[in-house]
Amino acid sequence: MKQEKRAERNQDAYGLLKPCLERASALQTALILFEWDNETLAPREAGKYTAKVQGALSEAYQEIMTGKNIEKLLEQCRQETGLSEAERAIIREAQEEYDRLVCIPPKEYRDYQELVAESARVWAEAKEQQDFHAFAPTLKRIISYQKKFAGYRAKDGQRLYDVMLDDFEKGFTIKKLDEFFGLLKQELVPFLKKVTQSQVEIRDDFLTGDYPEEKQRELAEFLAEYVGFDFKRGVLSESAHPFTTNLHNHDVRLTTHYKKRVDSSVFSVIHEAGHGIYELGVADELTQTLAGQGASMGMHESQSRFFENMIGRNEAFWEPVYEKLQELFPEELGKISREIFVKAVNKVQPGLIRTEADELTYSLHVLVRYELEKMLIEESLDVEELPKLWADKYEEYLGVRPKNPAEGVLQDIHWAQGSFGYFPSYALGSAFAAQMLQFMKKSMDFEELLRKGELEVIRQVLRRHIHRFGKIRDSRQLLRDMTGEDFEPRYYVEYLKEKYGSLYQVR
């Protein structure tokens, strides 16, 4: 009976599409593994040679994904009935990937790929020389390609920046993001001024010191495991910038870095573990398919930030754990109480660099980038005007002004890689996380669970409502299904104001 059903299934369109997608997915997995290797273990001179292999693999991937065969099968799949929710999601993702790859003329796409490969080098050099003009012509060309490609894909009068935003976060258009960032600007900019003028002094000098790397590594492994990262299905390595890579739900790889500031690796590793736990929680039936990863960039960032901030920067979290830190670093932390430590890791310091920002100022860094991207794509802002506008906005929102473009407009690699529409996800993630926290607090004593070290209860809720679904549902749908409400940014503002209002005694 079971056998018969499967035989029948092999004849239908989805049954034929599946092995094609499996081949494409195998190539994709190989590409991801090379990326991971490049960032961690590969010798420096391997780059040029590996690039050849990567080129061949990605060409083979494109050939499969844009082939006549796939086009026909996708068409037939759309007529097919009786598919599961997961199968429909896989077909939808395949269709989107097909549309994305097929609408750009191959020659233009190749030229663009070359430009982007070159631009990372131009950007790095310009940043090192603190010379924006050295990068401006390349950036101009990238933007013009990006607008052209978005134009090919725009449906019925869709705005170009909306096309780009949709790649990272479905359902978050310019209109929706204007509301979100408008609220952040209106509420958080004046609130931050009060915080920086507060009389409350928070010392954090002890966080910087001679923290031995070996001990930091031991702590990082301990913390990743403590928050729930499964080392039977994952590894922790080192790289210049911490990141997470997933091959499938039984192979998830984190990296961190070890610096003079001990909290840098502590919170990097909890953050990346949050990304990792998300991927490990994707349902088995989805893994190694196009729907077998986190729902979106923003949803991913919500999980990493939930672990980093809502869990990791919570005083209750450190109750069972802080002694371990004191044992590892008796000279640095032996005389520092838990209360002082937790205050230090929550200190607000408006700065110039996004990746070093505290929890309160983080989304304001993103606000600057959102406003500028929108002007570049929708209002034809001249690239040459970027450094000044960037500096003005930093001064207005954060009260600091970059002295050179390296600590200003040149700090992130995203635009050099052609990633426009990516930045908003960083801020959305924090806001999703706050909405989830607000929902959880209605049904559980969140702090008490942290105090008792019962993180599994919290993880289960996230797995049940978010992780297992992979890409089946988009971020707004997941939020609605979990919390009973559409995306509601007010929870994020309330969360920040309550937390930092109490820490700095302002309202």
Residues forming contacts to Zn ion in the complex (CB under 5 A) are: 304
Q: How far is the CB of 415 from Zn ion (least distance, A)?
A: 18
Longest dimension (CA), the chain: 75
For residues 304 and 419, which CB has a smaller minimum distance to Zn ion in the complex?
Answer: 304
CA distance 391 to 372: 11
Contacts of 15 (CB under 8 A, 6+ apart): 9
For residues 97 and 359, which CB has a smaller minimum distance to Zn ion in the complex?
Answer: 359
Q: How far is the CB of 507 from Zn ion (least distance, A)?
A: 31
CA distance 166 to 159: 11
Q: Are 120 and 417 in contact (CB under 8 A)?
A: yes
- The residue number with the shortest CB distance to Zn ion is 304
For residues 264 and 304, which CB has a smaller minimum distance to Zn ion in the complex?
Answer: 304
Check if 407 is active-site.
no
Residues linked to residue 208 through DSSP beta bridges, in sequence order = 261
For residues 245 and 304, which CB has a smaller minimum distance to Zn ion in the complex?
Answer: 304
CA distance 466 to 300: 10
CA distance 77 to 70: 10
CA distance 235 to 233: 7
For residues 191 and 243, which CB has a smaller minimum distance to Zn ion in the complex?
Answer: 243
Q: How far is the CB of 301 from Zn ion (least distance, A)?
A: 5
234-238: strand order across its sheet: 234-238, 251-256, 244-248
Q: How far is the CB of 427 from Zn ion (least distance, A)?
A: 12
Q: Which 3 state secondary structure label does DSSP give 238?
A: strand
For residues 138 and 304, which CB has a smaller minimum distance to Zn ion in the complex?
Answer: 304
Q: What does 320-380 look like in DSSP terms, one character per residue?
A: TTHHHHHHH-HHHHTTS-HHHHHHHTT-----S-GGG--TTTHHHHHHHHHHHHHHHHHS-
For residues 249 and 304, which CB has a smaller minimum distance to Zn ion in the complex?
Answer: 304
Q: What does 240-281 look like in DSSP terms, one character per residue?
A: SS--EEEEETTEEEEEE---SBHHHHHHHHHHHHHHHHHHHT
CA distance 432 to 172: 13
Q: What pairing do the DSSP bridges indicate for beta strands 234-238 and 244-248?
A: unpaired
The active-site residue out of 87, 97, 169, 272 is 272
Q: How far is the CB of 272 from Zn ion (least distance, A)?
A: 7
CA distance 115 to 113: 5
Q: How far is the CB of 271 from Zn ion (least distance, A)?
A: 6
Q: How far is the CB of 357 from Zn ion (least distance, A)?
A: 13
For residues 309 and 346, which CB has a smaller minimum distance to Zn ion in the complex?
Answer: 309
CA distance 130 to 405: 6
In the chain, the amino acid numbered 48 is K
Q: How far is the CB of 308 from Zn ion (least distance, A)?
A: 8
Whose CA is closest to 421, among 184, 167, 103, 246? 167
Active-site residues, by number, are: 272
